[in-house]
Amino acid sequence: MRFLFTIFFTSLFSLVGLTFSAQAKEVGEWELELEEDKAQLKVYTRKIEGSSLKEFKGEMLVDTTLTALSSLLLDADAAPEWMHQCEKFEVIEEVAPQDIVIHFINGAPWPVSDRDAVVSSQMTQNPETLAVRIDVKALTDYLPEDDDYVRIPRMEGHWAFIPQDGKVLVRYQIHAEPGGSLPAWLANSVVVDTPQHTMLNMLEMLKRDKYKQAKMTRIKNVL
């Protein structure tokens, strides 16, 4: 197992959490875009000053463990199975067991060009609350650009797994600049489709025994 991104936006921006340079940008209020009662999933978006693409935030309450969620995100080979529109996901450098660099490719509907990105990913666990957080950020000059893809120039975000009343609140929050040009219909849909499909797919993946029975030395479960 290698430390999975997670991230991002794996949809057009599936690998991806917070907001790119949010501290230096004015941000709008979160607006509820989608709610699925069965999965206890809500998707929000908000505008970012100077950006053509909204930031998204997906949240759902899951009956699972911190180790199950973390082991899924560490399973790089499984990323294309559940991350929305992810066509390739490769760990290209392991700086430390929980600090890696990833190259991923996300498909886009014709005639829009596929996107790729190089991102750093770091997993940490709060020793007091036991909440797990995976921060991701695009690295602009790590690899030369490939003419077959449009490089995502800016992306920043996180996954968070927060213990809550015997369950885990899963949060997936991302802001990215897609690079190149995107039709308005695609730009508007991707910020909702990405968290929706990625998080619903995550629920299905968590049913597998390899994640339910996972044991990790660096991540603790709530007792």
**pLDDT higher than 90, residue 1:** no
What is the number of structural domains in the chain? 1
Establish if 85 belongs to a structural domain: yes
pLDDT digits (tens, 9 = 90+) for 36-80: 999 999 999 999 998 878 999 999 999 999 999 999 998 999 999
Q: Which pLDDT belongs to residue 15?
A: 38
- Determine the Cα–Cα distance for residues 184 and 207; give it in Å rounded to an integer: 36
Enter the pTM of the model: 0.87
Establish if 1 belongs to a structural domain: no
**pLDDT higher than 60, residue 127:** yes
Cβ–Cβ < 8 Å for 73, 6: yes
Instruction: Please report, for residues 132, 187, 206, the alpha-carbon distance to residue 90 in angstroms, rounded to integers and kept in the order given.
Output: 22, 25, 21
Establish if 91 belongs to a structural domain: yes
Establish if 29 belongs to a structural domain: yes
- Averaged pLDDT, 15-33: 62
* Residues belonging to the chain: 223
Establish if 4 belongs to a structural domain: no
Cβ–Cβ < 8 Å for 170, 69: yes
**pLDDT higher than 50, residue 105:** yes
Establish if 84 belongs to a structural domain: yes
Q: Which pLDDT belongs to residue 184?
A: 67
pLDDT digits (tens, 9 = 90+) for 148-162: 999 999 999 999 999
* Ramachandran assignment for 61, one of left (phi > 0), alpha (psi -120 to 50 degrees), beta (any other): beta
Rg over CA atoms, the chain: 16
* Ramachandran assignment for 180, one of left (phi > 0), alpha (psi -120 to 50 degrees), beta (any other): left
What does DSSP assign to residue 218?
S
- CATH code of 53's domain: 3.30.530.20
Mapping DSSP onto H, E and C, the string for 168-197 reads EEEEEEEEEECCCCCCHHHHHHHHHHHHHH
Give the structural domain span for 125.
Answer: 22-212
Is 31 in a helix, a strand, or coil?
strand
Cβ–Cβ < 8 Å for 73, 214: no
pLDDT digits (tens, 9 = 90+) for 186-222: 777 889 999 999 999 999 999 999 999 999 989 999 9
Q: Which pLDDT belongs to residue 22?
A: 41
- Determine the Cα–Cα distance for residues 59 and 159; give it in Å rounded to an integer: 10
Q: Which pLDDT belongs to residue 7?
A: 41
Cβ–Cβ < 8 Å for 8, 87: no
Establish if 5 belongs to a structural domain: no
The rounded percent of the chain whose pLDDT value lies above 70 is 88
Confidence of residue 12 (pLDDT cuts 50, 70, 90): very low
Establish if 13 belongs to a structural domain: no
